[in-house]
Structure 1
Amino acid sequence: MTMTNFDLQPAVAQRWQALQQTLADIAHRYPDAALASSLAAEDMVLTHAIYESGLALEVFTLDTGRLHRETLDMLDTVRQHYGRELTVYRPDEDAVHAYVRIHGAHAFYESLELRKACCQIRKVDPLKRALAGRGAWITGQRREQAATRGTLAEQEQDPVFGLYKFNPLASWSQDDVWHVIRALGIPYNPLHDQGYPSIGCEPCTRAIRPGEDVRAGRWWWESSDAKECGLHAGNRVIPVTAAPYKATSV
């Protein structure tokens, strides 16, 4: 059962009310804006705020073809809880098959370039389709999530996709997120209860150990300053030492 805002601690209640106002302002300024949801905790908070406020903002997700079953099940959870359907974007099958044929199904473990190439096909290219023609998009990024997000702005011009980008949870703490989820009865991915604070594709995500950074389970074999998939490449420019993989060359 969904509780009222009065169940929130005063400081968090202020954040929640400010979030609702921010999303309403975004909907007014950019009626075509959409939330890119990973179906993880932060994005479920934003989804709840959008749906409960009756805002006409689209919520979409990217089904990479390598997600955990628990993550995919969240599509049904959202449908049952809110009576709403998320728009789902998927990668181009030919590009996926070409990558696997040339490099192998698990080539992303071999180098940063091959991992980014896989993310490009499975995540970035579908996101480009999802954002095409829009004036703005919304993310659930927070500053304390990763070294690459430490200076994250709450709103910015996205240099990668060429539209405006809002990160309304940028200043929220992990405790803020979970306090809102529990107080308002927001559904969430059960993997969070199994040691997964950050959830991506199944082969590239593991549960973290006590005391580890919240993003330690994402691409755990890579340096912490390179842990972005390309969806938020503008957070930090990482030098690439080899030519990037191009799907058109296969």
Structure 2
Amino acid sequence: MSNFDLDAFISSHKADEAQKIIHSALKEFDNIAISFSGAEDVVLIDMAVKAKKDVQVFSLDTGRLHPETYRYIEQVRKHYNINIDIMSPDAEKLEAFTKEKGLFSFYEDGHKECCGVRKVAPLRKKLATLDAWITGQRKDQSHGTRNQLDFAELDGAFGTEESPLYKFNPLANWSSEDVWNYIKVFEVPFNELHQKGFTSIGCEPCTRPVLPNQHEREGRWWWEESEHKECGLHVGNLIPTKQA
């Protein structure tokens, strides 16, 4: 949608007006989707369906998710009576990668290459079909990569000048407590792994419960340095993004 005015959108919304941001984004764009995987994202879905029943939702199936996560995706689909577009890795590229590197190369080589095949490539393919997407990112999830997060931005990582892609992060200024208060008040479904000590949930081999007082992202890729715990889905957090 080439006539979208990002600056006007930002100036007419407050960062803490998550539901207004979502509803306005859905009005601005017909071809917009919510990226769904965890607790924050289902809060977005809960807010979105109150404004638009046929909201577009997609989820990345890496092939390495916890069984509980697969059950959770189905639970959300049924609870909201929505379609969830399941995006899978390219079979040939995944086969070639695992043939060369095995199933657990990330413990030695880092997680970026595996995430590139299983997450980033399918995401890029999906985003190429959209004008805008909505994510559940929060600033306090990672002070190293998300502390400058805007609630609306031009996606300089996956969009192009010819095909601009807009990205909305309505929960950017929310805390984990805000998310869980919403879940409790509105009886939003959540992944049962959260009751087993998991806070930030990704693939099964790369996610573990956190200890008391640990940051919520400590359970992700715990064998690596903690400064840049991003899988590449939000690579724009690590590079400068172009502003409209």
Contact in 1 for aligned 2:139/2:147 (Cα 8 Å): yes
1:5-20 matches, cutoff 5 A: 18-20=17-19
**SS class of match (1:215):** helix
Contact in 2 for aligned 1:31/1:56 (Cα 8 Å): no
How far apart, in 1, do the equivalents of 2:116 and 2:212 lie?
31
Structure 1 length normalisation: TM-score?
0.84
Asked if 1:227 is matched to 2:225, the reply is no
Are the structure 2 counterparts of residues 85 and 56 from structure 1 closer, same or farther at C-alpha, using a change threshold of 3 Å? closer
Deviation at 1:22, TM superposition (A): 1.2
**SS class of match (1:178):** helix
Which residue matches 2:147? 150
Contact in 2 for aligned 1:143/1:151 (Cα 8 Å): yes
Which residue matches 1:186? 188
Greater fraction of residues in helix: 1
How far apart, in 1, do the equivalents of 2:29 and 2:51 lie?
16
Which residue matches 2:58? 60
Which residue matches 1:97? 95
Q: Which amino acid aligns with 1:140?
A: G
How far apart, in 2, do the equivalents of 1:110 and 1:101 lie?
16
**SS class of match (1:118):** helix
Deviation at 1:30, TM superposition (A): 1.4
How far apart, in 1, do the equivalents of 2:122 and 2:42 lie?
20
Deviation at 1:27, TM superposition (A): 1.0
Counterpart among 141, 156, 160 of residue 159 in structure 1: 156
Which residue matches 1:122? 118
Which residue matches 2:84? 86
How many residue pairs get matched? 220
The gaps in structure 1 that reach 5 residues or longer are 1-14, 238-250
**SS class of match (1:149):** coil
How far apart, in 2, do the equivalents of 1:199 and 1:211 lie?
17
How far apart, in 2, do the equivalents of 1:159 and 1:63 lie?
24
Q: Which runs of 4+ in 1 moved over 4 A?
A: none
1:67-120: CA deviations, max 9, x gaps?
A: 0011110122113211222111100111111111111110011123xx211101
Which residue matches 1:136? 132
Which residue matches 1:205? 207
Contact in 2 for aligned 1:158/1:234 (Cα 8 Å): yes
The gaps in structure 2 that reach 5 residues or longer are 1-13, 160-164, 240-244
Deviation at 1:18, TM superposition (A): 2.8
* Overall identity of the aligned pairs, in %: 46
Contact in 2 for aligned 1:62/1:123 (Cα 8 Å): yes
Asked if 1:176 is matched to 2:175, the reply is no
Which residue matches 1:69? 67
Which residue matches 1:21? 20
Select between 22-31 and 208-217 the one with higher mean Cα deviation: 22-31
Contact in 2 for aligned 1:199/1:218 (Cα 8 Å): yes
**SS class of match (2:145):** helix
How far apart, in 2, do the equivalents of 1:235 and 1:192 lie?
25
**SS class of match (2:59):** strand
